[in-house]
Structure 1
Amino acid sequence: MKSPIYILGTGLSHNGSAILLKDGRVCAGIEKERLSRIKHDGGNDTLAVQYCLDAEGITLKDLALVVQCANLDIPDRNYFKGKRLFAAAPELKVITISHHLAHAYSAVGTSPFTECAVMVIDGCGSQLEHFLELHPEQKKYIPQNLQDDIHMQCEKDSFYHFDGQQLIPLVKDFSRMATSKSNIFSPPTTLHSIGGFYATISNYIFGDLDDVGKLMGLAPFGTSGVFDFKAFEFQSGNVLVNEDWKSQLTNPSHGYDYFKTHFDYYANVARWAQEQVEQAVITCITNRLEQFPHDNLCYSGGVALNAVANAKLQDSNTVKNIYFEPAAADNGLALGCAFYGWLEYLKMPKVAHDGSTCFGKHYTNEAIDAAFAKAENQKYTPTKYNSDEALMDYCAAQLVQGKTIGWFQSGCEFGPRSLGRRSILAHPGIENMKDHINRDIKFREDFRPFAPAVLKDKVDEYFVTGRNSPYMILVDQTRPEYREALQNVTHKDGSARVQTVEASWNPKFAGLLTEFYRQSGIAVLLNTSLNKRGMPIVETPEEAIQLFEITALDILVIENYVLEK
């Protein structure tokens, strides 16, 4: 019997991760933060790589190839912020690719397209010097004035054509890095990136560059048109961040109490910034497609997580078909590395992806029993349901009554969204449920929204556009007649970041939604990640039990085991 071909992809940027392909299909994958329990953790990849090997039951000797990617580094194969596993396997082939190329391959490898255009937009990719060292054959795609610039230049957006086997660069845009770290408007990104701009506004409002998701949630509370200055300009088809707006923003937040006192002001800034990003994304992608038309587009990079901009891009009809990569930020680099190894390096044919983002390992009943057997957990007496039908009936009935459920099932999701494997679930329409979860379970700001998970064949009934949105990466508008019934998952402006649930790769979650619909008449559940503020999404049964202990969750379901308070 022919041995399988294993390729390991590893991302060493912030939001580090590892992915294992078996004969061109993902068989295991994890983000480092889920294991180290440190948000946005990156650098050394030992934890994530070992997890993938253990999940598949293989060793380094079984790997055909390792493909790696960082951000501002070309990592050493043996040492990167500590000793790496590959140091013990000198015969193992380890290659490095550039940052945007990894983003792009993460999209084409998981997309439904055999041929497409690919857009990558983020805050900062590989520096030009490293890009040319890794891909000297692509020097012809870089304008001479960029090659002659003595300043540090890094990728900010890239546009490719995928011919079914390899990516061909069409437009590569680089920008100088910001230099002054003392200025609040100079984050560690390129000067002229859309992602860098959004991170800058996040820092201005929240004092944190990584709160861009929170910024998108704040924007609906603001009013359009309060500020009339522009953040971006376009020269020869390239996006540039102008400087004028910086002198207009003179009141950075000084902590959460200050933020609350000046809430309307910061909401207006967030609204302005969100609208600037939407316009910049659509203009940039439209420009590229006008130069190189194609019916299919893959979109990746950190900016591609902006669900509001994504929906507006889709509604603009700029392109016929768009695939938004679910792990579009740096957590998806490992995915792209692995697919580069399969498609480009080994020249193997693309294998159709099943649409799932759930790459984590499964925890056996023995592992769950061991978690309950720990001394600190023996105060709980779990109930085990012998059939999925009985479990669904019980859980749906509890949700109807207003109970909150921690829902832990099968292998975890890869990417920033919980999609029914590591979720907190609740009724979408019971009054004050949103506030209760934000305050007593998530321990986060009260303006933060929650997403509706809806059965795929019912999405048209509840939401205006009725988009297919399996990865919670697009917004829609809740139909007016359902806004009260869906009050906990409908945002200030009537929008909702929808997740459409299908049984093909999410069978247990689809089953629960179906039973909740039968009992309540509503085919929608509130779905948010199984964690609290500042904590990575739980990975293990032990972590789920600990979260249950320290929050106001009413019920915890781990596979077919149920805990109640």
Structure 2
Amino acid sequence: MTADVVLGLCAYTHDSAAALLVDGHLIGFVEEERLDGVKHSKAYPIHGVAWLLGEAGLSPSDVTTVAYNFDGRRYLRALGQLPAQLRQPASRARAVPRARSFTTVHRRYQARMRDLAERFPRARLKPVSHHRAHALYAFAAAGVDDAAVLIVDSLGELQTTTTWHARQRNSRLKLDLVHSIDDPASLGYAYGAVTEHLGWRRGDEEGTVMALAALGDPARFRDLMSQAIRLTPDGFTLDPALIALRVLASRYGRVTPAFTAATCPPRTPNASVEPVHADLAAALQERTEQVMLHLAERARRLTGSGLLCLGGGVAMNCVSAGLIAQAGIVDEVHVPPAPGDAGTAIGAAAQVWLNVTGRPPTGLRHHCYLGPAYPDLALPAAPRAGLHASRPADPVRHLARTLADGAIVGLFTGALEAGPRALGHRSILASPLEAGVVERLNATVKFREPFRPFAPVILADRATDYFRLRQPSPYMSLAAPVTELTRDQLPAIVHVNGTARVQTVTREQHPFLADVLTRFGKLTGHPVLINTSLNIKGKPLCGTPDMALDCLTESGLDALLIEDWWVTK
């Protein structure tokens, strides 16, 4: 019997990725940037697709369906907004360029479908609504039976914010759209607009603005931000007099002259960061948190579910997600490991399978280590000029002791994780007890802004000693208040706002890292490490051994443990 082979794709826009289902089982998932070395790669994921098909022993001609993570036909709905936008003085000048830009994106979508048809001439092409792909992945990854699903991003066709009710009974899954907010009301667009105004790359460095917000006073621009992003009974809206109407072309700015006049001139990327920038970031972050809490409360009311799954780019705002978890709006908050657009490659494939069978795919619940692995890696004694490789007899003991002695070590082990945050397979680890470790990490290893904090990783059964967590946080998705113990003894992992973006680890989830934490705890008294992604600023997380060795040679890392090989300079 011929296998049902569904290839899910996120491609041609940003965060290119691929996922493969064979008879409803997830073979794997990989983000192209981690194989081609281009951060936020928008290329067709040629390397990722080749790896997936190789893992399954298949060829392109075996693919029966290609599931694409956008339904480009829906972009034309924006044309129906044109008359109202022409009538509104604040949006009139952009109304026609906006309509044209959505038509252009529709044409590009048609070209993408032709490209996919040429690559897979025997496969059906199935476009999937972007937010549905987000929602299905967020729910299926959570491993629960009933949940509200809240997707908040910049734009998916015309949707920006959607609420769903997902239920699974007797292996059958239903995902019902409960409420939708369309562009131009977009929280992701607004956050990206201010990120760009503050001198960082939108779609990439919103997390930097979130970190900067803790240093500022939101009161300075609170009223302005409340006007720019207005709460409504069913969600929120944007004021086009401050946040300019979206046009899908990079030459159109996102904030208006009125916004600039009321805040500050645009900051250039290399300019110093002033108090006004921190204050603006603080007001933006505060308003984002208020909107997200409002949306979460509505999702609970609309669905009646005590569990909430978050997805979309704004779900990566761990402070907002943490506040929802702490507020008690729902019993638990679940954020998948890849909540951004890359994860929609899984969601698109899952939707195609769901359409045919009514069932979710297998191999997805609670899984994040889905990419390439290199268990048989062999290194020469000198893998690069100036590097030395050896094999310690006990890698756990050796790594824990070296970390306790103050070294900063890269870790490359097992299958590549999904998502933007280090989950222990492609990580940089350091002791939070080492004086000046945050300054050293930012200045000489990651090459990033000095105010950015680092996340801790801890054994799950010790988490409540150090963090005020109401639930597990396996994917480093929630910022939680720290305890007095952490504040007193581990200040390196405490951000200015008194929180930390914690990752909890169980032995079942990650036996090697759990053993390292246990050993480190015996040596130091604290089973807690700093965990940040194995990369330097401007480059993607290291998906291949060569990328990891590059990271060692190009940064201030002291050593790299790569599949039981200990590599030093």
TM-score, reference length from structure 1: 0.85
**Worse overlay, 312-321 or 416-425:** 312-321
Q: Write the letter of the residue equivalent to 2:178.
A: L
- The answer as to whether partners of 1:459 and 1:467 remain within 8 angstroms in 2 is no
Q: Tell me which residue corresponds to 1:217.
A: 211
Q: Tell me which residue corresponds to 2:502.
A: 498
Deviations 1:216-273 (A, max 9, x none): 111111124223311322345131013566266441343245333x2x2111111110
Q: Does residue 192 of the first structure (1) align with residue 185 of the second (2)? A: yes
Q: Distance in 1 between matches of 2:49 and 2:361?
A: 23
- What are the within-5 Å matches in structure 2 for residues 449-528 of structure 1? 449-465=453-469, 467-528=471-532
- What are the within-5 Å matches in structure 2 for residues 103-252 of structure 1? 103-126=134-157, 154-164=158-168, 165-175=173-183, 191-210=184-203, 211-229=205-223, 230=226, 231-243=228-240, 246=259, 249-252=262-265
Q: 1:249 to 1:523 in 2, by over 3 A?
A: farther
Q: Write the letter of the residue equivalent to 2:322.
A: A
- The answer as to whether partners of 1:459 and 1:466 remain within 8 angstroms in 2 is no
- What are the within-5 Å matches in structure 2 for residues 336-347 of structure 1? 336-347=347-358
Give, in angstroms, the shift of residue 467 of structure 1: 3.6
Give, in angstroms, the shift of residue 206 of structure 1: 1.9
- What are the within-5 Å matches in structure 2 for residues 72-91 of structure 1? 80=112, 83-84=115-116, 87-91=118-122
Q: Distance in 2 between matches of 1:269 and 1:221?
A: 10
- What are the within-5 Å matches in structure 2 for residues 392-411 of structure 1? 392-411=396-415
Q: Does residue 7 of the first structure (1) align with residue 25 of the second (2)? A: no
Give, in angstroms, the shift of residue 98 of structure 1: 1.3
Q: Distance in 2 between matches of 1:336 and 1:324?
A: 14
Q: Distance in 2 between matches of 1:82 and 1:548?
A: 41
Instruction: Say which SS state the counterpart of residue 492 (structure 2) adopts.
Output: coil
Q: Distance in 1 between matches of 2:109 and 2:270?
A: 46
For residue 358 of structure 1, the aligned residue among 354, 364, 369 is: 369
In structure 2, list runs of 5 or more residues that go unmatched: 76-104, 243-258
Give, in angstroms, the shift of residue 513 of structure 1: 1.0
Give, in angstroms, the shift of residue 349 of structure 1: 5.0
Deviations 1:372-419 (A, max 9, x none): 48x872653311135xxx111111111011001010001111111011
Q: Distance in 2 between matches of 1:455 and 1:3?
A: 44
Give, in angstroms, the shift of residue 464 of structure 1: 2.3
Q: Write the letter of the residue equivalent to 1:441.
A: V
Q: Write the letter of the residue equivalent to 1:205.
A: L
Q: Tell me which residue corresponds to 1:93.
A: 124
Q: Does residue 429 of the first structure (1) align with residue 460 of the second (2)? A: no
Q: 1:504 to 1:248 in 2, by over 3 A?
A: farther
Q: 1:334 to 1:507 in 2, by over 3 A?
A: same
Instruction: Say which SS state the counterpart of residue 227 (structure 1) adopts.
Output: helix
- What are the within-5 Å matches in structure 2 for residues 363-378 of structure 1? 363-365=374-376, 367-369=377-379, 372=380, 377=384
Q: Distance in 1 between matches of 2:65 and 2:107?
A: 16
Q: 1:87 to 1:76 in 2, by over 3 A?
A: farther
Q: Distance in 2 between matches of 1:216 and 1:51?
A: 35
Q: Distance in 2 between matches of 1:81 and 1:341?
A: 16
Instruction: Say which SS state the counterpart of residue 124 (structure 1) adopts.
Output: strand
Instruction: Say which SS state the counterpart of residue 488 (structure 1) adopts.
Output: helix
- The answer as to whether partners of 1:467 and 1:476 remain within 8 angstroms in 2 is no
Q: Tell me which residue corresponds to 2:30.
A: 30
Q: Distance in 2 between matches of 1:113 and 1:545?
A: 39
Q: Tell me which residue corresponds to 2:65.
A: 65
Give, in angstroms, the shift of residue 505 of structure 1: 2.4
Q: Does residue 323 of the first structure (1) align with residue 334 of the second (2)? A: yes
Q: Tell me which residue corresponds to 2:297.
A: 286
Give, in angstroms, the shift of residue 40 of structure 1: 1.1
Aligned-residue RMSD, C-alpha: 2.4
- The answer as to whether partners of 1:25 and 1:351 remain within 8 angstroms in 2 is yes
- The answer as to whether partners of 2:300 and 2:306 remain within 8 angstroms in 1 is no
Q: Tell me which residue corresponds to 1:269.
A: 280
Q: 1:520 to 1:441 in 2, by over 3 A?
A: same
Give, in angstroms, the shift of residue 172 of structure 1: 2.1
Q: Distance in 2 between matches of 1:460 and 1:75?
A: 52
Q: Distance in 2 between matches of 1:430 and 1:81?
A: 53
Q: 1:123 to 1:558 in 2, by over 3 A?
A: same
Q: Distance in 1 between matches of 2:179 and 2:386?
A: 60
Q: Distance in 1 between matches of 2:53 and 2:395?
A: 32
Q: Distance in 2 between matches of 1:250 and 1:223?
A: 13
Q: 1:452 to 1:520 in 2, by over 3 A?
A: same
Give, in angstroms, the shift of residue 122 of structure 1: 0.7
Q: Tell me which residue corresponds to 1:142.
A: none
Q: Tell me which residue corresponds to 1:145.
A: none
Q: Distance in 2 between matches of 1:79 and 1:346?
A: 30
Q: Distance in 2 between matches of 1:489 and 1:368?
A: 35
Deviations 1:326-369 (A, max 9, x none): 2111111101112112222333355474412111111132x443
Q: Distance in 2 between matches of 1:43 and 1:8?
A: 16
Q: Does residue 548 of the first structure (1) align with residue 552 of the second (2)? A: yes
Q: Distance in 2 between matches of 1:521 and 1:228?
A: 43
- The answer as to whether partners of 1:6 and 1:23 remain within 8 angstroms in 2 is yes
Instruction: Say which SS state the counterpart of residue 107 (structure 1) adopts.
Output: helix
In structure 1, list runs of 5 or more residues that go unmatched: 127-153, 176-190
- The answer as to whether partners of 1:426 and 1:525 remain within 8 angstroms in 2 is yes
Q: Does residue 384 of the first structure (1) align with residue 391 of the second (2)? A: yes
Deviations 1:55-102 (A, max 9, x none): 333222443422112376569899639955x52542222211111111
**Worse overlay, 310-319 or 446-455:** 310-319
% identical aligned pairs: 28
Q: Write the letter of the residue equivalent to 2:532.
A: T
- The answer as to whether partners of 1:43 and 1:80 remain within 8 angstroms in 2 is no
**Worse overlay, 419-428 or 507-516:** 507-516
Q: Distance in 2 between matches of 1:163 and 1:59?
A: 35
Q: Distance in 1 between matches of 2:534 and 2:392?
A: 21
